[in-house]
Structure 1
Amino acid sequence: MQQKTSVTIRDVAQAAGCSVATASRVLNKSGPASAEVRERVERAARDLDFSFSSIGRALQSRRSMTIGCLVPSLANPVFAEAVQGVQSELKDSGYQLLISCSNYDETADNAAIETLMSKDADGLIATMVAPDRSAALRQAQQRGTPVSLMFHDPIEGFTTAYVDNFEAAREVARQFVRLGHRRIGFLALRFSTSDRSRNRYAGFCAECRARGLPDPVLIEIGEAEASRPDSLAAILNDHPTLTAIFASNDFLAIAVHKAARLLGRRVPQDLSVAGFDGIEIGRLLEAPLATIETSPEAMGRQAARSLLEAMQGQVPIQPPALPFHFRAGATLAAPNPE
C-alpha cells in the first residue's frame, strides 16, 4: 500500500518516456497527444497502479488552483489574443485565471504582482515594463512561485514565450533596402520602457549598417501624439526626407498612414509604412498594412505550457522563439525617383 501511494505523475511520465506535462494532459484528457503516446502513458499508469484521482490530489495539495496573468492592456488585441491562448491551454486543467492590467506602468506592474501573490496564485504569466528589475517578480520566485513571461526576449532566470524581435526587425530593414529606401525612420511609443521596441530598433539598425546605410532616424512619441493624427502629422513634417517608416507596432503604423494623408503624402507612393504584430485590422485597411505577422495566441499557449510544466516539477527549459512572417501588404513600395 505504501508503494502505491508513493507513485507520482513523474514516475508515470518516466515509464512512458514523455514529459510530466504530456502525461498529465493524457491522464486528465486536457490536451492533444498522439495515439501512440496516449497508449504508452495509460499503460504506464496501469502498470504502476497510478490512480487517475492522484492527479487531482497532487494538484490540489497546497495550491489555490489559480494562475495570475499580467498584461499591459486588453484594449490591444495582441495582448487579448495572448490571454485567450493562455486560457485555451489551461482549459480542463482545473486552474482559474486571474487577469490584471498595468497600462504599461512599472509601478503598477509590481503592485499587480504583489496583489496576485496575496491571493496565493500558484503561478504567474506576465508581460511587464521591466521584468528583469522587478522586485515583486523576484520575490515571487523566491517564494517558489513559477513564472512564465510572454513577448519578452529571453531574460536570465525566466522562461519566456516570444518572437525574436531583433531578427524580425532585420527582415523589415531588408524589405526596405531591397526596394531602394535609404532615408528610413523608426517610430516608437514607450521606447524607454519597452524592451520589445528597443530590440526591434536594435535589429533594424544592425541590418541597415550591414547594408551600408546609416542608422535609421529614431522618432520617439508620447501617448498624446500617438492618439492624435494632427500631432503625429506635425512630427512627421519635421522629417520630410524620410521615404519609409517602420513603426514599432501596427497601431502606430496605422496612425502614420492617417497622419501622412493629412500632410498630403500618399502611402506607399510618397511614404512606405510597415508595422509589427499582424493585427487583423491591418488586413482590412484600404491599403492592407505591411507588417511582421506573429501569433499572440500561440505565444499565450506556449507561456501556459511552460508554466504548467514548471508547476509540475519540471526543470524550466527556454523554448525556441516562435515563428514570424513578413506580410507584404500594400503600404510598401519603391521610393519616388529623386
Structure 2
Amino acid sequence: MNKAVSGQSGVRQVAKLAGVSVATVSRVFNQASTVRPDTRDKVMAAAKQLNYVPNSAARSLTMNRSYTIGIVIPTIDNSIFARFIDAIEQTLATRGYGLIVATCGFDRYSESHRVEELLKMGIEGLILSGAEHDEALLELIAARNLPLVCTSLFDAAYPWPTIGYDNYSMGKAITRHLLDHGHRQFHILSGPRDLIDRTRIRVQGILDGLHEAGVSDISISETELNFAAGCQAAKNILTPPLNFTALLCTSDVLAMGVLLEAPRLGIRVPQQLSVTGFDDQDWAAVSNPGLTSVHTPSRRMGDATARALMDNIEQNTAIASQLIDSHLVIRDSSGPAPSV
C-alpha cells in the first residue's frame, strides 16, 4: 500500500503529475470556484494516484478558516440522530468541511454551554435541534453573525431558518388513519412536552385531529425517550381491562417499548390494541408486528442543512427555511378497532 503524502512536497508532486501549477492545486483543494471542471478532475486524479492527503491544518491557517460546522443534539442514543449526523458529514465532506458533534440531553443550559465550547473551536456554522433555545444563546449567535439552522421542524415564521418536518400535520395524519379504522378511544404516549417542542407539536396535532372528529375519550401520559421507558409506560397503562383501542406514541422508541411489553401482558397488537410511532426508524419495518409510523427522512434533512450552511458561508446565500416532506407508513401494528 502506498504511503499517504502531504505537505508542500506533496503539492508539487500532484502539480507535476497533473501538469498544472502548485497554485492551481491549492485552489482545487481550497474549493475555489475559478478552477475549470476538467482541471479539477486532473488534479483530483493525480492526488488519488499519489495518495495525496491535503494538510487541513495548514489550509485553515492560510485561509484563516476552520472549515468546520458544529452541531448540538439531545442524544446520540437514538438512531434517528445517527442517520442525520451521517448525512451531514457526508455532504460536508464533498467540499472539505468537517463536523463537530456535541450532546446536551434536552437541557437548555447544557446546550448553551456546548455551543460556547464550539465557538471557541472556531466553527463557521451551527446546527441546533428544534426552535426553543436560551435567548442569551441566540443573542450570542446573532452577535457573532454565525450561520444557524434549526432542524427537525419547519416554521417559516421563526426568526432563524428551520429545516425539517411539519410535525403538526403528520400528527393529524396518523390520527386520521386510526379514526378511519373506527377507533374512538385513544391514549397518547409522549416524551416530555415541556422540554421538546417537536413532541409538543406532534401531540397538539393529534389532539386537534381527535377534537375535530368529535372524539373526547383521550388520555395522555409522558415518559423519557428510550426503550426501557416505553416498556415501563406499557406496564403502567396497559392494565386490563383496556379503556382505549389505539395508542399513539410520539416516538418510535416508545412504540417499540410498547410492542416489546404488550405480549408479556397478554395484549395482542393490533387485534386488541393498535400502536403507532413517529420517525420510522430502521427497525420499524422488521419489528413484530411491523410498526405503523410517520417517516421523517433524516438523511434528506441532513443533506439540505449541510448544503444550506456551506452555500451561506461560501457564497453568502441566504439560508431559507425548508419543509422536508414526511409521510405515513402503514404496517401491521395498526388495524380496525376491535368490536365491542
Corresponding position of 2:319? 316
Sort the Cα spacing of 1:284 and 1:105 in 2 relative to 1 into closer, same or farther, 3 A. Answer: same
The 10-residue stretch of structure 1 (240-249 or 122-131) with the greater mean CA deviation from structure 2: 122-131
**Residues 105-159 of structure 1: per-residue CA shift (max 9 Å, x gap):** 222111111100111111111215833x342233022211111121133262211
Deviation at 1:219, TM superposition (A): 1.2
- Structure 1 counterpart of 2:78: 76
The CA distance in 1 between the partners of 2:290 and 2:139, in whole Å, is 42
CA distance in 2, matches of 1:157, 1:230: 39
RMSD (Å) for aligned C-alpha atoms: 2.7
Show CA shifts across 1:51-79 (max 9, x none): xxxxxx99974422211111111221101
Instruction: Give, in angstroms, the shift of residue 97 of structure 1.
Output: 0.9
Task: Return 5+ residue gaps in structure 2 as ranges.
Answer: 1-30, 38-58
| SS in structure 1 of the partner of residue 109 of structure 2 | helix
Runs of 4+ displaced beyond 3 Å = 24-30, 57-62, 222-228
Aligned to 2:115: 113
Measured after TM superposition, the shift of residue 214 of structure 1 is: 2.0
Alignment of 1:134-283 (within 5 A): 134-154=135-155, 156-214=158-216, 216-222=218-224, 226-227=228-229, 229-230=231-232, 232-237=234-239, 240-283=242-285
State the distance in 1 between where 2:94 and 2:35 align. Answer: 8
Give the distance between the partners of 1:249 and 1:28, measured in 2 at CA: 47
Q: Which amino acid aligns with 1:183?
A: Q
Alignment of structure 1 residues 79-98 onto 2, 5 Å: 79-98=81-100
In terms of Rg, which structure is larger? 2
Q: For the structure 1 residues 60 and 197, does the alpha-carbon distance in structure 2 shift closer, same or farther, using more than 3 Å as the test?
A: farther
SS at match of 1:237: coil
* Cα distance change, pair 25–296 in 1 and its aligned pair in 2 (3 A): farther
Amino acid at match of 1:324: S
Superposed displacement of residue 226, structure 1:
4.3
After superposition, what is the alpha-carbon deviation per residue over 1:281-335, rounded to whole angstroms, capped at 9, x for unaligned?
111112110000121011111111221222231223222x111121111000112
* TM-score (structure 1 length as normaliser): 0.78
Secondary structure of 1:192's match? coil
Specify the SS of the correspondent of 1:277: coil
| 1:159/1:306 contact within 8 Å kept | no
Residue type of the alignment partner of 1:68: G
The 3-state SS of whatever aligns with 2:238 is: helix
User: Residue 194 of structure 2 aligns to a residue in which SS?
Assistant: helix
Amino acid across the alignment from 1:138? E
Judged with a 3 Å threshold, the aligned counterparts in structure 2 of structure 1 residues 92 and 261 are, in CA distance, closer, same or farther, namely same
1:193 is paired with a residue of what secondary structure? coil
Contact kept in structure 2, 1:294 and 1:323, CA below 8 Å = yes
Q: State the alpha-carbon separation in 2 of the partners of residues 286 and 266 from structure 1.
A: 11
SS of aligned partner of 1:229: helix
Contact 1:148 1:304 in 2 (8 A): no
Distance 1:222 1:142 in 2: 35
**CA distance in 2: counterparts of 1:262 and 1:271, whole angstroms:** 14
1:122–1:182 CA distance, 2 compared to 1 (3 A): same
TM-score of the pair, normalised by structure 2: 0.77
CA distance in 2, matches of 1:117, 1:64: 11
User: Are the aligned partners of 2:124 and 2:146 in contact in 1 as well (CA < 8 Å)?
Assistant: yes
Q: Which has the higher mean CA deviation after the structures are superposed, 105-114 or 136-145?
A: 136-145
